[in-house]
Structure 1
């Protein structure tokens, strides 16, 4: 669970940076600020994807195990 907490901390930090950039952008259009905001948006998307993947692994197990179980269930259904 420590990994999830550190991801949340990083998401909070990046979100605060992005909010500050948006505030600075309100003073006037600056292509460099727009580029930085886009980079932070991409970083936030990656962090949230990592967060969801970790939560899924915690809840359902590793992907290989899930696939193995699904194939075993499929074989049982075909045999029945």
Structure 2
């Protein structure tokens, strides 16, 4: 599992790379190479989405604890509600 600073650094690096690819895409259209660049941008977008998902999950873990603990507490609370 990556730490938040590691995830943020990777997001920053990929965002810069994507910006460069968009610039290259505008030039690639003139040379007919736009499909290759589009595929690279799509791959970066997918990776960025996964990184943001990981970032949100890590922040939630830090704030609320491990997922298993949360589920265990919720089930215990549900049992108490049903017993009352």
What's the TM-score, normalizing by structure 1? 0.93
Work out whether 1:69 is the aligned partner of 2:69: no
Which aligned segments of 4 or more residues in structure 1 are displaced greater than 2 angstroms?
Answer: none
Q: Select 2:60's aligned residue among 32, 56, 64.
A: 56
- Tell me, in whole angstroms, the C-alpha distance in 2 between the residues paired with 1:14 and 1:7: 11
- Tell me, in whole angstroms, the C-alpha distance in 2 between the residues paired with 1:60 and 1:72: 16
Q: Select 1:39's aligned residue among 16, 21, 43.
A: 43
Unmatched runs of 5 consecutive residues or more in structure 1 = none
What is aligned with 1:78?
A: 82
- Tell me, in whole angstroms, the C-alpha distance in 1 between the residues paired with 2:46 and 2:24: 19
What's the TM-score, normalizing by structure 2? 0.89
How many pairs align?
A: 79
- Tell me, in whole angstroms, the C-alpha distance in 2 between the residues paired with 1:11 and 1:74: 38
- Tell me, in whole angstroms, the C-alpha distance in 1 between the residues paired with 2:62 and 2:12: 22
What is aligned with 1:20?
A: 20
- Tell me, in whole angstroms, the C-alpha distance in 2 between the residues paired with 1:10 and 1:19: 14
